[in-house]
Structure 1
Amino acid sequence: MEEEGNQIIFILFSGAFLAALMATFVVSMVILHRQRQVHNKQKMDQIKAEYEKTILNIENEIQQDTLKHIGRELHDNIGQLLSLSKLYLASSKPEKQAEGRQLINQIITEVRGLSKTLNLDWVESISLEEFISQQLDKIKSTGFCEVVFNREDENWELDKDQKLVLIRVIQECLNNAIKHASPNLIKILMEKQEGERAIRISDDGIGFDTSLSSQGSGMTNLRKRMETIGGNFQITSSPGQGTDIILSLPI
C-alpha cells in the first residue's frame, strides 16, 4: 500500500514537473517570438527611415542641380535677352522696337519654361525613356562622344520614387563616364529579362579598377540607392576595357 502511494506521488510529481517544463517552454517561445517581432519591426522602421532619407537626399540633389541650371540660364540666356530687348525698345526705329517686343515674348516663354523646373513635377510628366534620350542627346550635342540608345517599344511603368532614384543613378553613371572614362561611345540599353527590368550603361573608355577605395565609395552609394527601391547595381570594369553597369529592378 505504501509502495502504491509512493508511485502515485512520483507520477504526480513527474506530471507537475513536465507541466512546468512545458509551460516554461511555451513562455520561452512566446518571449522569443515577441523579441523577433520587435526586432523585425525595428529593422523595418530602419529600412523605411533609410528609404525616406535616400529619397529626400535625391530630391535635394536634383533641386540643387535645377537651381544651378536656372542660375546659368538667368545669367547667360535671359540676362542677355533682356539687355538686347532694352536696347531695341530704346531705339527710335519701329522695326527695332518690334524686335524688342518679340524678344520680350521670347523671355516670357523662357521664364515659364524655367518655372516648371523649380519643383519635381517634371519627374511625373516624363518617362524614363524620354529622360535617357534627352541626356544622351545633350552629350552628343556637345561633340564629346557618340551615343547609342536601344530600348523596347513598351514604356516602363514606375512610381515617382523609383523613377527619381533611377534618374539620379543614371545621371551619376553618365557624369562619371564623362569625367573619368574619356569614351568614344556611351551606350544605354533598356530591356526586360526574366522577372526584372534592366538598364545597361556601357562605355568604351579607359575603365578602372573597381576594387580601389576611391572608386568603391561612389559605387557603394549608387548600390545602396538601388537597394532602397528593391533593385540591384552591378558594375564590371578594368583598366583599358571600358565600363559596364547594369541597373536591375524586379517587375
Structure 2
Amino acid sequence: MLEQDNELAFLIVSGTFLTALMGTFIVAMVVLHRQRQVQNRQKIDQLKVEYEKTLLNIENEIQQETLTQVGRELHDNIGQLLSLAKLNLNSSKPEKQAEGKDYINQIIKEVRALSKTLNLDWVESITMDEFISHQLERIQSTGFCKTSLDSDHSFNQLPKDQKLILIRVIQECLNNAIKHAQPDTISIRIYQKGSKRSIEIKDDGKGFDSSIKTNGSGLYNLSKRMETVGGKFNLTSVVGKGTLITLELPL
C-alpha cells in the first residue's frame, strides 16, 4: 500500500513538473514570437522611412536638375528668341514684323513646354523607353559619343515611385559614363528573363578596377536606391574594356 502511494505521489509530482515545464515553454515561445513580431514591425517601419526619404531626395534632385535645365533654356534658347523678336518687331518692314510675330508664337510654345517640366507630372506621362531614348538622344546630339537602345518594353508599366527611382539611377549611371568613361558608345538594353526585368547600361570606355574600394558613396547610394524598390544594382568593369551596369527589378 505504501509503495502504491509513493508511486502515485511520484506520478503526481512528475505530471505537475511536466505541466509546469510545458507551460513555461509555451509562455517562452509566445514571448519570443511577440518579440519577433515587434522586431519585424520595426524593420518594416524603418524600410518605409528609408523608402520615403529616398523618394523625397530623388524628387528634390530631379526638381533641381529641372530648374537648371529651365535656366539654360531661358538663357540660351528663349533669350535668343526674344532678342530676335525684338529686333524684327522694331523694324519698319512689314515682313520683318511678321517674322517677329512668328518668333513670339514660338516663344509661347517654348515657355509652355518648359512649364510642364517644372513639376513631376511628366513622370507619369512618359514611359521608361521614352525617357531613356530621350536621354540617349541628348547625349548623341552633343557629339560626345554614339548611343543605342534595345528594348522589349518590359519596364513601361511601372508605378510612379519606382519610375522616379529608376529615372534617377539611370541618370546617375549615364552622368558617370560621361564624366569618367570617355566612351565611343553607350548602349542600353532592356529585357525580361523569367521573373526578373533588367536594364543593362554598357559603355566601351576606359573602365576601372571595380574590386578597389573608393572613398565616394555614389555607387553605394545607387545600390541602396535600387534596394528600396526591391531591386538590385550590379556593376562590372575592366580597365580598358568599359563598364557594364545591370539594374534588376522583380515582376
TM-score, normalised via structure 1 length: 0.95
Unaligned runs of 5+ in 1: none
Say if 2:77 is the partner of 1:100.
no
Question: Secondary structure at the residue paired with 1:118?
Answer: coil
Map of 1:69 onto structure 2: 69
Aligned CA distance change for structure 1 residues 215 and 185 (closer, same or farther; 3 Å): farther
Map of 2:238 onto structure 1: 238
Map of 2:209 onto structure 1: 209
Within-5 A mapping of 1:1-251: 1-152=1-152, 156-214=156-214, 217-251=217-251
Once residues 35 and 155 of structure 1 are traced to their aligned partners in structure 2, the CA distance between those partners, rounded to angstroms, is 39
Once residues 195 and 185 of structure 1 are traced to their aligned partners in structure 2, the CA distance between those partners, rounded to angstroms, is 30
Question: Secondary structure at the residue paired with 2:233?
Answer: strand
Aligned CA distance change for structure 1 residues 48 and 152 (closer, same or farther; 3 Å): same
Once residues 115 and 18 of structure 1 are traced to their aligned partners in structure 2, the CA distance between those partners, rounded to angstroms, is 76
Instruction: State the 1:162 CA deviation.
Output: 1.4
Output one character per residue of 1:83-129: Cα deviation in whole Å (capped at 9) or x when no partner.
22223223332222222221111111111000000111111111101
The size of the alignment, in residue pairs, is 251
**Aligned CA-pair RMSD:** 1.6
Once residues 185 and 103 of structure 1 are traced to their aligned partners in structure 2, the CA distance between those partners, rounded to angstroms, is 37
Question: Secondary structure at the residue paired with 2:248?
Answer: strand
Question: Secondary structure at the residue paired with 1:206?
Answer: coil
Instruction: Supply the AA of the counterpart residue of 1:55.
Output: L
Once residues 45 and 25 of structure 1 are traced to their aligned partners in structure 2, the CA distance between those partners, rounded to angstroms, is 30
Instruction: Supply the AA of the counterpart residue of 1:80.
Output: Q
Aligned CA distance change for structure 1 residues 51 and 85 (closer, same or farther; 3 Å): same
Question: Secondary structure at the residue paired with 2:209?
Answer: coil
Question: Secondary structure at the residue paired with 1:171?
Answer: helix
Once residues 83 and 185 of structure 1 are traced to their aligned partners in structure 2, the CA distance between those partners, rounded to angstroms, is 38
Q: Percent identity?
A: 65
Instruction: State the 1:217 CA deviation.
Output: 2.5
Instruction: State the 1:215 CA deviation.
Output: 6.8
**Moved runs in structure 1, 4+ residues, more than 4 A?**
none
Shifted more, 167-176 versus 81-90: the winner is 81-90
TM-score, normalised via structure 2 length: 0.95
Instruction: Supply the AA of the counterpart residue of 1:167.
Output: I
Question: Secondary structure at the residue paired with 1:16?
Answer: helix
Question: Secondary structure at the residue paired with 1:158?
Answer: coil
